[in-house]
């Protein structure tokens, strides 16, 4: 149990007591409330603590001793009522002031307390005892006060009485007490000037505006959540596509190698020299062009790309443009060299990259390569806008086109003639590519090589931020 | 604090009340000492002039303990009854209806406070007896004593609070022994310097535990009685028998004391008889004798022209103890300048002889 008394009530009681020339007594008015503290911690289940708080708001001094009891200590209810009048229901205790006596309840006080508890119907009636001690030469006077709750067990009777804001309030918080304000003047002033601060419901206006801001922010957050969810789904989808494409690439690569091997053997037999050196880089460049980077935040780039083990294969860029972006940019950005218009629907066949003669794949391939490079370079320019609408269809169609390409590849493989043609055309392409697009390849290569990634990566990184 | 100082400092309106307490106040069995007043304080503001003390501590002897009760008046309202703080007995709460002098407090009656204190003591006694109920053994002791009319109404009981170390319960019984001291010869009681007060013998029996295994009895006699009986070493009471009870022990002690007193009285008479007999036998030879206590007798005798003095000292427990005869020569001096004397203790003597017989037989050793 805790008890508190407001500073002004305490000083008022002291004033009345100290000015009386004999013992002094009166009643304490206030309220008792229960405080429940629930503490939750990781280590234990939540515990609830119940605390009874006694608050003394006011006091009612008695004009003289024996005003409501007689010599035998019997309390007279009529006298009690005439003293308290309508304040009777607020009584939570009574007090007594005695000079130069012990801090112990006296015989008569105990008798009266028992009767008051019954009459007033307050089970935990408190008794505040003031005792004033003076030294013999009147140099030092001490006012001691003890709050008792005599209705409890003998060993638990004293309660500490706190006086809020008694002390150094510059270091502590100034506590506002919960004493109800019954002043008429106060009520009048508040009523006059209250409209400036409060709206018609009695709620402060500022609170309402703040709440509106809060609601708006909440709505925006909700919208962004939806967008985030959608983009995440798109990203998932693209990731799947990329994986598929990778598989196809791997497959294709194996086939290419086989064919080359065969070709080599054939050529060796013919004692033909082939520019094998060129194939490597062009192949690398092919492959580099093929690998698509999907748009991502840095996390995405981390998640998705493990480029195949070929050394020439470019590693992921931190902010590669989206596939859709890539395609749109192909349209929008001026290319260093010929930037053919690309159709979003089709991806060029890998072997057709670099071949100027090849109508569809060529320009596309060129475009792709360029686009890629451009895209890659574009990624270094802070132009990519994240808010472009996602082209789901584009994704689907791109994968379709790749599939078609793969299928085409398969067909080519199956078909010897085609294969031969393709092979030859492939080499032509490669050669032409090597000659015609030194810049591109170089640039692609430059960009593709992992070593070169870091400056670009940085650029991209900066772009992402 | 002496009573006079207390009376001087107390507020004038309250002075009569305190006066009767301090001067005449005797409560309880042990009434050799008056009630004592200490810690006189005031309830008025410190600027109030003059004697204005109205609250003090009253020391009351009870059952071997001293109760220190605070009594609180209000000097500005002297007609109001006082309030009490019962010191360490925080649980003692008498019923106001049992205190008629409180309910009908009359500040004009100087005895009112004293009477109120007596009533409070009575209530306190009841309270202590109630506390005895914690130990059935002691309660039995109490009840058995209560039934006896000799002891039942002259009993004070202090049921001590449990010893916090051992949790033991202790009690003390203070009983007034109904021994009649009125026949003790006056002279025996005269030697005390102070006002002897009432002659009383109190038996205090302390029970250190509830099972009555450690019992310490003690006998308190008023100073004159103690002197009359030959000092504190003369009277030894028997130890409390283990397993015994008060209702058996107390009469035993009482009897012992009564016997002692009787013996003393008898001794007095016997001595008187002895001296009378000697007087009649040695009439002219008596120099002097103790006419009050009959303890000494001096004779001047002549045997074949040899004069000598005989001093007869009669002990307290005559006739059990033999009188001492001291022969003193009137002629000769010792080296140290004293009259030569010889003490004779071993002479035929029997306590059963009466005075006359002793006088007759005494002649022989004189020769």
**Residue B143 lies inside a defined structural domain of this protein:** no
pLDDT of residue A430: 46
**Residue A132 lies inside a defined structural domain of this protein:** yes
Residue A312 has pLDDT above 50, yes or no: no
Could you tell me if B41 lies within 8 Å of chain A, comparing CB atoms? yes
* Mean pLDDT confidence for B322-339: 73
Judged by average pLDDT, the poorest of A448-452, B60-64, B120-124 is: A448-452
* Contact assignment for A72 to B97 by CB distance below 8 Å: yes
Measured in angstroms, the CA of A71 and the nearest CA of chain B are apart by 6
Place of tokens 């009285």: B265
* Contact assignment for A21 to B45 by CB distance below 8 Å: yes
Distance between CA atoms of residues A316 and A453, nearest Å: 8
Residue A387 has pLDDT above 50, yes or no: no
Cα distances from A9 to residues A122, A360, B21, in angstroms, run 21, 96, 42
Residue B315 has pLDDT above 80, yes or no: no
Distance between CA atoms of residues B32 and B195, nearest Å: 9
Judged by average pLDDT, the poorest of A196-200, A390-394, B243-247, B250-254 is: A390-394
Could you tell me if B90 lies within 8 Å of chain A, comparing CB atoms? yes
**Residue A358 lies inside a defined structural domain of this protein:** no
* pLDDT winner (highest mean) among A268-282, A443-457, B135-149: B135-149
**Residue B68 lies inside a defined structural domain of this protein:** yes
**Residue A152 lies inside a defined structural domain of this protein:** yes
Residue A317 has pLDDT above 70, yes or no: no
Residues of A within 8 A of B84 (CB-CB) are: 106-108
**Residue A351 lies inside a defined structural domain of this protein:** no
The encoded tokens of residue A276 equal: 């094998």
Place of tokens 């086939």: A255
> Residue B74's closest CA among B100, B99, B96, B48?
B48
The Cβ-side half-sphere exposure at A251, using a 13 Å CA radius, reads 14
Residue A250 has pLDDT above 80, yes or no: yes
The encoded tokens of residue B61 equal: 């002897």
**Residue B344 lies inside a defined structural domain of this protein:** yes
pLDDT of residue B205: 83
pLDDT of residue A401: 44
Residues 131-160, chain A, touching B (beta carbon < 8 A): 134, 138, 141, 154
What total of structural domains would you count in chain B?
2
Chain B CA closest to residue A107: B84
Q: Which helix (H) or strand (E) holds B9?
A: helix B3-9
pLDDT of residue A249: 94
Write out the E strands in chain B. Answer: 36-42, 53-62, 65-72, 83-85, 155-160, 170-176, 201-207, 215-221, 286-289, 296-303, 306-313, 324-333, 339-344
Provide the 10 A C-beta neighbour count for residue A422: 21
* B339-344, Cβ contacts within 8 angstroms, sequence gap of 24 or more: B339/B309
Residue A199 has pLDDT above 60, yes or no: yes
pLDDT of residue A242: 96
DSSP lists the bridge partners of residue B56 as B71
**Residue A323 lies inside a defined structural domain of this protein:** no
Q: What is the CATH number of the domain that holds A104?
A: 3.40.140.10
Last residue of a domain, one of B85, B113, B132: B132
| Mean pLDDT computed over every residue of chain B | 79
Residue A304 has pLDDT above 60, yes or no: no
* Contact assignment for B41 to A65 by CB distance below 8 Å: no
Could you tell me if B127 lies within 8 Å of chain A, comparing CB atoms? no
The DSSP symbol for B285 reads G
> Residue B282's closest CA among B348, B354, B359?
B359
Measured in angstroms, the CA of A54 and the nearest CA of chain B are apart by 25
Distance between CA atoms of residues A3 and A30, nearest Å: 11
pLDDT in tens, A397-406: 444 444 444 4
* Mean pLDDT confidence for A275-299: 47
* Mean pLDDT confidence for A33-62: 85
**Residue B257 lies inside a defined structural domain of this protein:** no
Chain B CA closest to residue A97: B43
* Contact assignment for A74 to B80 by CB distance below 8 Å: no
* Contact assignment for A104 to B94 by CB distance below 8 Å: no
Cβ neighbours for B229, distance < 8 A, ≥ 6 positions apart: B221, B235, B260, B261, B264
Residue B194 has pLDDT above 70, yes or no: no
**Residue A431 lies inside a defined structural domain of this protein:** no
- The larger pLDDT score, comparing residue A373 to residue A75, is at A75
- The larger pLDDT score, comparing residue A134 to residue A114, is at A114
Judged by average pLDDT, the poorest of A113-127, A142-156, B27-41, B175-189 is: B175-189
Last residue of a domain, one of B109, B132, B155: B132
pLDDT of residue A352: 43
* Contact assignment for A107 to B90 by CB distance below 8 Å: no
* Mean pLDDT confidence for B161-171: 63
Could you tell me if B70 lies within 8 Å of chain A, comparing CB atoms? yes
* Domain that includes residue B313, residue range: 267-366
> Residue A164's closest CA among A153, A172, A154, A156?
A172
Share of chain B above pLDDT 90, in %: 10
pLDDT of residue A226: 95
**Residue A81 lies inside a defined structural domain of this protein:** yes
**Residue B256 lies inside a defined structural domain of this protein:** no
Residues of B within 8 A of A101 (CB-CB) are: 41, 43, 55, 70, 72, 85
Residue A382 has pLDDT above 70, yes or no: no
Q: What is the CATH number of the domain that holds B298?
A: 3.10.110
Q: Do residues A335 and A326 touch, judged by C-beta distance below 8 A?
A: no
Measured in angstroms, the CA of B25 and the nearest CA of chain A are apart by 22
Q: Kindly indicate the confidence band of residue A278, based on its pLDDT and cuts at 50, 70 and 90.
A: very low
Could you tell me if A99 lies within 8 Å of chain B, comparing CB atoms? yes
Mutate to test the interface with B, among A24, A70, A72, A127 (most CBs of B within 10 A): A72
Ramachandran class of A261: left when φ > 0, alpha when ψ lies in -120 to 50, beta otherwise:
alpha
Distance between CA atoms of residues B254 and B237, nearest Å: 10
pLDDT of residue A391: 46
Distance between CA atoms of residues B56 and A100, nearest Å: 10
Last residue of a domain, one of B132, B153, B179: B132
**A138: nearest CB among B46, B75, B96:** B46
Share of chain A above pLDDT 70, in %: 56
Residue A243 has pLDDT above 90, yes or no: yes
Could you tell me if B355 lies within 8 Å of chain A, comparing CB atoms? no
Q: Kindly indicate the confidence band of residue A460, based on its pLDDT and cuts at 50, 70 and 90.
A: very low
Measured in angstroms, the CA of A99 and the nearest CA of chain B are apart by 5
Q: Do residues A327 and A394 touch, judged by C-beta distance below 8 A?
A: yes
Q: Which helix (H) or strand (E) holds A33?
A: strand A24-39
Please, is B3 exposed, middle or buried when counting C-beta atoms within 10 Å of its C-beta (0-12, 13-18, 19+)?
middle
pLDDT of residue A92: 92
**A21: nearest CB among B76, B81, B84:** B76
* Contact assignment for A72 to B91 by CB distance below 8 Å: no
What is the DSSP secondary-structure string of A139-179? Answer: S-EEEEEEEE-TTS-GGG-EE-EE-TT-S-TTTSPPPPP--
Write out the E strands in B63-198. Answer: 65-72, 83-85, 155-160, 170-176
Could you tell me if B105 lies within 8 Å of chain A, comparing CB atoms? yes
**Residue B75 lies inside a defined structural domain of this protein:** yes
pLDDT in tens, A138-174: 888 899 999 998 887 776 688 888 888 877 767 777 7
Could you tell me if B72 lies within 8 Å of chain A, comparing CB atoms? yes
Q: Do residues B61 and B38 touch, judged by C-beta distance below 8 A?
A: no
**Residue B342 lies inside a defined structural domain of this protein:** yes
Distance between CA atoms of residues A450 and A313, nearest Å: 7
Q: Do residues A277 and A288 touch, judged by C-beta distance below 8 A?
A: no
Mutate to test the interface with B, among A67, A107, A136, A142 (most CBs of B within 10 A): A107
* Domain that includes residue A105, residue range: 2-162
**Residue A346 lies inside a defined structural domain of this protein:** no
* Contact assignment for A73 to B96 by CB distance below 8 Å: yes
What total of structural domains would you count in chain A?
1
pLDDT in tens, A84-99: 888 888 899 999 999 9
Provide the 10 A C-beta neighbour count for residue A401: 20
pLDDT in tens, B197-227: 567 788 888 887 767 677 888 888 877 777 7
pLDDT of residue B197: 59
């Amino acid at each position: 149990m805790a008890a508190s008394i407001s500073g002004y009530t305490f000083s008022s009681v002291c004033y009345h007591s100290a000015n009386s020339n004999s013992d002094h007594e009166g009643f304490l008015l206030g309220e008792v409330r229960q405080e429940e503290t629930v503490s939750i911690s990781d280590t234990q289940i939540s515990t609830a603590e119940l605390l009874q708080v006694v608050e003394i708001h006011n006091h009612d001094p008695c004009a003289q001793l024996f005003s409501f009891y007689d010599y035998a200590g019997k309390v007279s209810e009529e006298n009690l009522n005439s003293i308290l009048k309508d304040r009777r229901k607020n009584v939570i205790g009574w007090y007594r002031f005695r000079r130069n006596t012990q801090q112990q309840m006296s015989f008569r006080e105990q008798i009266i307390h028992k009767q008051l508890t019954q009459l007033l119907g307050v089970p935990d009636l408190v008794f505040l005892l003031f005792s004033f001690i003076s030294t013999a030469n009147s140099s030092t006077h001490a006012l001691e006060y003890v709050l008792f709750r005599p209705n409890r067990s003998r060993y638990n009777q004293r309660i500490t009485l706190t006086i809020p804001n008694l002390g150094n309030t510059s270091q502590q918080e100034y506590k506002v007490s919960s004493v109800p304000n019954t002043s008429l003047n106060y009520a009048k002033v508040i009523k006059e000037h209250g409209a400036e601060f409060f709206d018609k419901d009695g709620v402060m206006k500022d609170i309402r505006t703040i709440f509106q801001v809060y609601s708006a922010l909440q709505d925006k957050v909700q919208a962004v959540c939806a967008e985030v969810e959608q983009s995440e789904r798109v990203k998932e989808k693209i990731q799947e596509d990329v994986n598929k494409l990778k598989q196809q690439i791997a497959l294709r690569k194996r086939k290419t190698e086989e064919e080359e091997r065969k070709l080599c053997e054939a050529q060796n037999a013919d004692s033909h020299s082939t520019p094998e050196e060129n194939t490597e880089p062009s192949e690398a460049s092919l492959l580099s062009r093929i690998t698509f980077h999907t748009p991502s935040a840095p996390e995405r780039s981390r998640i998705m790309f493990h480029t195949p083990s070929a050394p020439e294969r470019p590693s992921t860029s931190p902010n590669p443009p989206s596939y859709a972006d890539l395609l749109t940019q192909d349209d929008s950005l001026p290319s260093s060299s010929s930037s053919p218009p690309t159709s979003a629907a089709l991806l060029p066949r890998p072997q057709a990259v670099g071949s100027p003669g090849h109508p569809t794949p060529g320009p596309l391939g060129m475009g792709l390569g360029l686009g890629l490079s451009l895209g890659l370079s574009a990624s270094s320019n802070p132009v990519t806008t994240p808010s472009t609408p996602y082209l789901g269809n584009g994704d689907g169609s791109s994968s379709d086109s790749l599939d078609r390409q793969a299928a085409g590849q398969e067909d080519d493989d199956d078909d010897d003639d085609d294969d031969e043609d393709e092979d030859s055309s492939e080499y032509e392409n490669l050669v032409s590519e090597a000659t015609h697009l030194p810049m591109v390849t170089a640039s692609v290569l430059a960009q593709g090589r992992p070593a070169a990634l870091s400056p670009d990566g940085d650029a991209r990184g900066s772009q992402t931020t | 604090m002496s009573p006079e100082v207390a009376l001087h400092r107390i507020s004038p309106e309250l002075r009569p009340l305190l006066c009767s307490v301090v001067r005449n106040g005797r409560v309880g069995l042990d009434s050799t000492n008056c009630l004592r007043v200490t810690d006189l304080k005031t309830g008025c503001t410190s600027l109030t002039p003059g004697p204005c003390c109205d609250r003090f501590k009253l020391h009351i002897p009870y059952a071997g303990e001293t109760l220190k009760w605070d009594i609180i008046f209000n000097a500005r309202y002297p007609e109001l009854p006082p309030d009490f703080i019962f010191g360490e007995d925080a649980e003692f709460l008498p019923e106001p209806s049992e205190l008629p002098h409180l309910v009908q407090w009359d500040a004009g009656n100087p005895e009112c406070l004293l009477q109120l204190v007596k009533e409070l003591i009575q209530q306190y006694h009841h309270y202590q007896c109630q506390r005895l109920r914690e130990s059935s053994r002691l309660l039995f002791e109490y009840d058995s004593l209560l039934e006896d009319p000799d002891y039942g109404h002259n009993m004070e009981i202090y049921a001590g609070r449990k010893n916090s170390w051992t949790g033991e319960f202790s009690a003390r019984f203070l009983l007034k022994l109904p021994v009649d001291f009125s026949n003790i010869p006056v002279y025996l009681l005269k030697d005390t310097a102070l006002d002897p007060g009432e002659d009383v013998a109190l038996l205090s029996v302390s029970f250190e535990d509830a099972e009555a295994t450690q019992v310490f009895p003690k006998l308190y006699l008023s100073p004159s009685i103690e002197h009359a009986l030959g000092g504190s070493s003369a009277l030894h009471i028997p130890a409390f028998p283990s397993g015994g009870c008060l209702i058996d022990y107390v009469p035993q002690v009482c009897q012992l004391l009564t016997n002692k007193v009787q013996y003393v009285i008898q001794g007095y008479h016997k001595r008187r008889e002895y001296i009378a007999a000697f007087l009649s036998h040695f009439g002219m030879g008596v120099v002097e004798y103790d006419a009050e206590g009959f303890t000494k007798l001096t004779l001047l005798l002549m045997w074949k022209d040899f004069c000598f003095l005989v001093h007869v000292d009669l002990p307290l427990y005559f006739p059990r103890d033999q009188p001492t005869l001291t022969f003193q020569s009137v002629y000769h001096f010792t080296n140290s300048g004293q009259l030569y004397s010889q003490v004779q203790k071993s002479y035929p003597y029997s306590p059963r002889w009466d005075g006359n017989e002793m006088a007759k037989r005494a002649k022989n050793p004189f020769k």
